[in-house]
Amino acid sequence: MIPASFDYIRAGSAAEALALLTEHGEDAKILAGGHSLLPLMKLRLASPSVLIDVARIRELSYIRDGGDHVAVGALTRHCDVQHSALLQADVPLLAHVAGLVGDPQVRHRGTIGGSIVHGDPASDLPGAVLALGATLVISGPGGTREVPAQDFFHGFLETAVGPDELLTEIRLPKMGGAGWSFKKFNLRAQDWAIVGVAAVGAQAGGGIALVNMAATPVRASAVEQAVAAGASASDAASSASAGLDPPTDLNASAAFRRHLASVLVRRALQEVEARARL
Amino acid sequence: MRVRITVNDHLEDHDVEPRQLLVYFLRETVGLTGTNVGCDTSSCGACTVLVDGESVKSCTVLAAQADGSAITTIEGLAGTNGTLHHVQEAFREHHGLQCGYCTPGMVMAAVSLIAENPRLDEASVREGLEGNLCRCTGYHNIVQAVLAASAAASR
């Protein structure tokens, strides 16, 4: 499978990438690791006329201690997130989830920003940043703005990042020893989750996010409220799909997804409890 | 566009279409057909090569993205005198193949896995090769071969 023809431009800096986006408009797409975009282009589901390769912009690849949070540059690769001692210590959920993306070859190329901006509701990282209450830093022609993860995912493969904007940084609140869990159900090791759950304990905000239960990753608000009110894991998990209309596809019916969500949320809540450090 | 890519220690300098995938650059432009195209959807790992020492699926990388990089393919592993790389030797010794189609990708993925993980056990080898499918289901001997190569590398 061969993508449709396009012009390829390599950006040397974030400023240059933004200028190129302004110049080429909606016909241009940003290319980072390419592990979400190139498969779509090979299937001709996407055929941008210009690719702006940002993968070599070193200023956007970093993992820094920001005091109460860890700041991760959007072009940091999954393998670097997975193996970061800082993230393993302070945001262990994120390091763990990065290690579940695809396979080692994919993690050598794919970037955290690329995965989040792609906004696939079946991807693991968008769910993780939602549960963690991350802040997404977006640069555009008018400057920089910060968007809470809760407001970032707008629709299927649609995010708050506009056509002339670039996600530059992901800020993850330190978890402070809170328990956490990530559970996903899939048929083969490298598959997308049929349903997934990311959960963190109360000290880290108590966020619980569901993967592949809607057109975007979503917070399981009913479960969060039940847990905050002191419900047991089983009782809280029974409302896992409250208010949601999960998709039916060749892997699972909506009813099976609802069942998986309640089972996985229960297991996740139990693991959050077991992992909590005093 | 012009790309300059070092392939198995040899500089390749070619005009390519921006949409050319690395695997077709290697197979058709450079003429090294040891790297196979399997699923063509970054699932099976048959097209795995090393880019600057790390395993990647060359069906999901543009040649343009690899401009300036150093690539190692299965053809670049053995010594110039034909001496097999220790991972290749282990695959031969433990019969880590059946039909052989996945083998170049398996070997390249294993080279990268061993380089990144000095201590591998069976579980970590199986997990480390999750991106490579053997449709003959010949995983048992492949895992034995990688464990043996890993032990040889740490000696």
> What is the residue range of B38's domain?
2-76
Query: What is the pLDDT averaged over residues B53-66?
Result: 98
Domains of chain A and CATH, by start: 7-53 (3.30.43.10), 59-173 (3.30.465.10), 180-275 (3.30.390.50)
Question: Where does a domain end: B76, B110, B129?
Answer: B76
Task: Provide the mean pLDDT of chain B.
Answer: 96
Q: How does DSSP classify residue B21?
A: B
B72 plus B90 within the same structural domain: no
Q: Chain A within 8 Å of B3 (Cβ-Cβ)?
A: no
pLDDT value, residue A187: 87
Question: Where does a domain end: B76, B106, B130?
Answer: B76
Residues in chain A: 278
Q: How does DSSP classify residue A105?
A: H
- Could you report the per-residue pLDDT of B90-132, keeping only the tens digit for each? 999 999 999 999 999 999 999 999 999 988 999 999 999 999 9
Quickly state the pLDDT bin for A278 (edges 50, 70, 90): low
C-alpha distance from A42 to closest chain B C-alpha (Å): 8
B109 plus B69 within the same structural domain: no
B56 plus B100 within the same structural domain: no
Contact call for B42 and A39, based on CB within 8 A? yes
Contact call for A106 and B131, based on CB within 8 A? yes
Q: Which neighbouring-strand residues pair with A195?
A: A185
What are the chain A neighbours of B42 within 8 Å (beta carbons)? 35, 39, 102, 105-106
From the candidates B27, B48, B65, which should be mutated to test the interface with A, based on the most A CB atoms within 10 A? B65
Q: Which of A180-189, A233-242, B32-41, B136-145 has the lowest mean pLDDT?
A: A180-189
Contact call for A53 and B61, based on CB within 8 A? no
B18 plus B43 within the same structural domain: yes
- Could you report the per-residue pLDDT of A5-23, keeping only the tens digit for each? 999 999 999 999 999 999 9
Q: pTM of the predicted model, to two decimals?
A: 0.96
CA separation for the pair B153, B131 (Å, rounded): 22
What are the chain B neighbours of A1 within 8 Å (beta carbons)? 40-41
Q: What is the ipTM of this complex?
A: 0.96
B92 plus B62 within the same structural domain: no
Give the count of alpha carbons within 13 A of B152, CB side only.
15
What are the chain B neighbours of A108 within 8 Å (beta carbons)? 51, 54-56, 112
C-alpha distance from A5 to closest chain B C-alpha (Å): 6
Question: Where does a domain end: B52, B76, B100?
Answer: B76
What are the chain A neighbours of B51 within 8 Å (beta carbons)? 108
- Could you report the per-residue pLDDT of A28-48, keeping only the tens digit for each? 999 999 999 999 999 999 999
Contact call for A35 and B113, based on CB within 8 A? no
Q: DSSP secondary structure string, A20-70?
A: HHHHHGGGEEEESS-TTHHHHHHTTS---SEEEE-TT-GGG--EEE-SSEE
Task: Provide the mean pLDDT of chain A.
Answer: 96
**What dihedral do alpha carbons B13, B18, B22, B24 form, nearest 10°?**
-90
Residue (of A107, A106, A112) closest to A137 by Cα position: A112
Amino acid at A220: A
* Nearest-Cα residue of chain A relative to residue B55: A105
Contact call for B131 and A108, based on CB within 8 A? no
What are the chain A neighbours of B111 within 8 Å (beta carbons)? none
B93 plus B120 within the same structural domain: yes
Check if the beta carbon of residue A170 is closer than 8 Å to that of residue A130. Answer: no
B52 plus B7 within the same structural domain: yes
Contact call for B48 and A105, based on CB within 8 A? yes
B72 plus B95 within the same structural domain: no
Q: Which residues contact B137 (CB under 8 A, 6 or more apart)?
A: none
Quickly state the pLDDT bin for A191 (edges 50, 70, 90): confident
Give the rounded percent of residues in chain B with a pLDDT score beyond 90.
95
Which residues does A contribute to its contact with B (CB < 8 Å)?
1-8, 10, 31, 34-35, 38-39, 42, 51, 53, 55, 79, 102-106, 108-109, 189-190
Residue (of A278, A276, A274, A246) closest to A261 by Cα position: A246
Check if the beta carbon of residue A84 is closer than 8 Å to that of residue A63. Answer: yes
> How many CB atoms are closer than 10 A to CB A176?
11
From the list B54, B128, B130, the residue facing A108 with the nearest CB is: B54
φ and ψ at residue A250, rounded to 5 degrees: -70, -15
From the list B43, B61, B113, the residue facing A34 with the nearest CB is: B61
- Could you report the per-residue pLDDT of A211-257, keeping only the tens digit for each? 999 999 999 999 999 999 999 999 999 999 999 999 999 999 999 99
Quickly state the pLDDT bin for A133 (edges 50, 70, 90): very high
**B81 belongs to a structural domain:** no
Q: Chain A within 8 Å of B76 (Cβ-Cβ)?
A: no
Q: DSSP secondary structure string, A153-177?
A: EEETTEES--TT-EEEEEEEE--TT
Contact call for B130 and A39, based on CB within 8 A? no
Long-range pairs of B8-17 with CB within 8 A, sequence gap ≥ 24: B8/B32, B8/B71, B8/B72, B8/B73, B8/B75, B8/B76, B9/B70, B9/B76, B16/B63, B16/B64, B17/A5
Q: Which two tokens stand for residue A258?
A: 């609802």
Bridge-based pairing of strands A7-10 and A50-53 is: parallel
B135 plus B105 within the same structural domain: yes
pLDDT value, residue A76: 98
CATH number at residue B26: 3.10.20.30
Query: What is the pLDDT averaged over residues B64-75?
Result: 98
b/e map A246-264, b = 16+ CB within 10 Å: bbeeebbeeeebbebbbbb
Residue (of A159, A61, A79, A70) closest to A116 by Cα position: A159
Check if the beta carbon of residue A12 is closer than 8 Å to that of residue A20. Answer: no
Check if the beta carbon of residue A278 is closer than 8 Å to that of residue A242. Answer: no
Q: Give me the number of domains chain B comprises.
A: 2
B98 plus B67 within the same structural domain: no
CA A238 to chain centre: 25
CA separation for the pair A226, A223 (Å, rounded): 5
B19 plus B51 within the same structural domain: yes
pLDDT value, residue B154: 80
B70 plus B106 within the same structural domain: no
